């Protein structure tokens, strides 16, 4: 089989399917990425992925190429896992999917099941079918939607132990053939009788999770005003089986390569079909404002930002990844720099990428070095190593002991006990 796209989703999918015993060729147009993979380097940070890629590469089940024609021969499946970034009007930019489908069509040499794993709006499967049908060989291809739900940071675990596998196609036989790929995994498989339903499951899921985050952030803002503790409120809510505890952490809001663009794309899709999605717009507006809360709290504690040294704990959009796409850190750093503050930062995985996009930040070697001499520290990403610091050591090294905890990782009473001026989100 061929996997098109060697990113977080494509490479994880390829390595996991190879590990399940399949012969997998990964094709990517990015020459540098393929060269790195051939040199035994995974181009991004994902726990356990290097080892899995290496093992299957050595076993001869996994190979890498920039040429579609090298990946194609004899393949029964082609999995599209290319980027679907935000387009100009907020809609999903499908040009990479279209280009991948065109390249597949041009090198097909037999019946093929084309599986779309990229996150795409309903009707994209039909577009892929139309592209494939432009070539004689492409007429024999079946198109299946099989959205991916893995999370960066736990991608392998999520792929191998998914909550569910969703497969949709107008061609039931092709959908069942895709289900075979997952038959050894212990997961419910939902086959939808049309492709649009499967495509929509992914958007519905991501929009719902984003809505939970904005919901709890709205509750947190109310908590702050009435003197309630949002963390405990969420705990109390989450004990209700109908609600459940996940995605109820008040904080800086959602970021990353999926939620922001997927909620926007779903809203744009709805508008295109003459429906105004009130709730999705509120979810996005709350999230936009949420990022700036930590800056407001810094202003409240420091009065002026000009000339202050602000240390950021974490840069990646979430822990256990180096991904900086739509990371709140970028916007927060920009606003602080524009206000005349000196910004320094430390992240266990995202420093290299961050240096390229934010050269005006000073990069430090660890949390203690980031805090030493700073006027305030902002917890941006809740990496575990920030949770268990020697708080006494940190406090005594700071110029002013201000901590703005954008992820509520510290206990307010403990922080005050150490003499910090502490502000969490939805709790004082």
- Name the minimum Å distance from CB 297 to ligand NAD: 29
Closer to ligand NAD by CB, 59 or 123: give it.
123
Contact (CB, 8 A) for 309 and 374: yes
Closer to ligand NAD by CB, 92 or 391: give it.
92
Distance CA 215, CA 261 (A): 18
**By Cβ distance, which residue is nearest to ligand NAD?**
7
- Name the minimum Å distance from CB 257 to ligand NAD: 5
Closer to ligand NAD by CB, 82 or 333: give it.
82
E strand spans, 213-324: 309-313
- Name the minimum Å distance from CB 189 to ligand NAD: 18
Distance CA 408, CA 382 (A): 8
- Name the minimum Å distance from CB 84 to ligand NAD: 4
- Name the minimum Å distance from CB 270 to ligand NAD: 18
Helices (H), 47-153: 49-58, 68-71, 95-107, 124-132
**Largest Cα span, the chain:** 73
Distance CA 95, CA 241 (A): 42
Closer to ligand NAD by CB, 82 or 364: give it.
82
Distances in Å between the Cα of 36 and the Cα atoms of 10, 30, 52, 88, 144 are 15, 10, 15, 31, 30
Answer yes or no: 223 catalytic: no
Contacting residues for 328 by C-beta, under 8 A, at least 6 apart: 252, 253, 255, 291, 317, 380, 406
The CA R_g of the chain, rounded to the nearest whole Å, is: 23
Distance CA 152, CA 70 (A): 29
Q: Catalytic residue among 16, 223, 258, 301, which? A: 258
Distance CA 251, CA 366 (A): 22
Closer to ligand NAD by CB, 56 or 118: give it.
118
Interface residues toward ligand NAD, by CB under 6 A: 4-10, 27-30, 33, 81-84, 96, 99-100, 103, 118-119, 148, 150-152, 257-258
Residues annotated as catalytic are: 258
């Amino acid at each position: 089989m061929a996997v098109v796209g060697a990113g977080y989703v494509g490479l994880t999918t390829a390595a996991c399917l190879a590990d399940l015993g399949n012969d997998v060729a990964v094709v990517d147009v990015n020459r540098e990425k393929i060269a790195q993979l051939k040199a035994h380097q995974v181009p991004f940070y994902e726990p356990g992925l290097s080892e899995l890629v290496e093992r299957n590469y050595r076993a001869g089940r996994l190979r890498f190429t920039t040429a579609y024609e090298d990946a194609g021969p004899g393949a029964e499946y082609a999995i599209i896992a290319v980027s679907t970034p935000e387009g100009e009007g907020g809609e999903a930019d499908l040009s990479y999917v279209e280009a991948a489908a065109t390249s597949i069509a041009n090198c097909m040499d037999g019946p093929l099941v084309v599986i779309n794993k990229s996150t795409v709006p309903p009707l994209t499967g039909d577009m892929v079918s139309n592209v494939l049908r432009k070539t004689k060989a492409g007429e024999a291809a079946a198109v299946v939607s099989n959205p991916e739900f893995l999370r960066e940071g736990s991608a392998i675990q999520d792929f191998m132990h998914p909550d569910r596998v969703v497969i949709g196609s107008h061609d039931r036989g092709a959908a069942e053939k895709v289900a075979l790929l997952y038959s050894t995994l212990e997961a419910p498989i939902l086959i939808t009788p049309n492709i649009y339903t499967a495509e929509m499951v992914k958007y519905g899921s991501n929009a719902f999770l984003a809505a939970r985050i904005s919901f709890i952030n709205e509750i947190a803002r109310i908590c702050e005003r009435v003197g309630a503790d949002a963390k405990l409120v969420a705990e109390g809510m989450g004990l209700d089986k109908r609600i459940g505890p996940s995605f109820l952490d008040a904080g800086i809001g959602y970021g990353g390569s999926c939620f922001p663009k997927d909620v926007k794309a779903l809203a744009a899709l709805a508008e295109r079909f003459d429906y105004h999605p009130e709730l999705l717009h509120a979810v996005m507006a709350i999230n936009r404002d949420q990022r700036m809360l930590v800056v407001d709290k810094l202003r409240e504690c420091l009065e002026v930002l000009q000339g202050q040294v602000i240390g950021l704990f974490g840069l990646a959009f979430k822990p256990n990844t180096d991904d900086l796409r739509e990371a709140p850190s970028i916007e927060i750093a920009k606003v602080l720099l524009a206000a005349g503050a000196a910004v320094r930062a430390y992240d266990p995985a995202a420093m290299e990428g961050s240096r390229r996009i934010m050269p005006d930040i000073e990069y430090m070697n660890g949390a203690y070095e980031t805090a030493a001499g700073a006027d305030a520290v902002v917890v941006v990403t809740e990496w575990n190593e920030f949770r268990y610091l020697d708080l006494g050591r940190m406090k005594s090294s700071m110029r002013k002991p201000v901590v703005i905890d954008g992820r509520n990782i510290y206990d307010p009473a403990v922080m005050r006990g150490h003499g910090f001026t502490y502000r969490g989100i939805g709790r004082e």
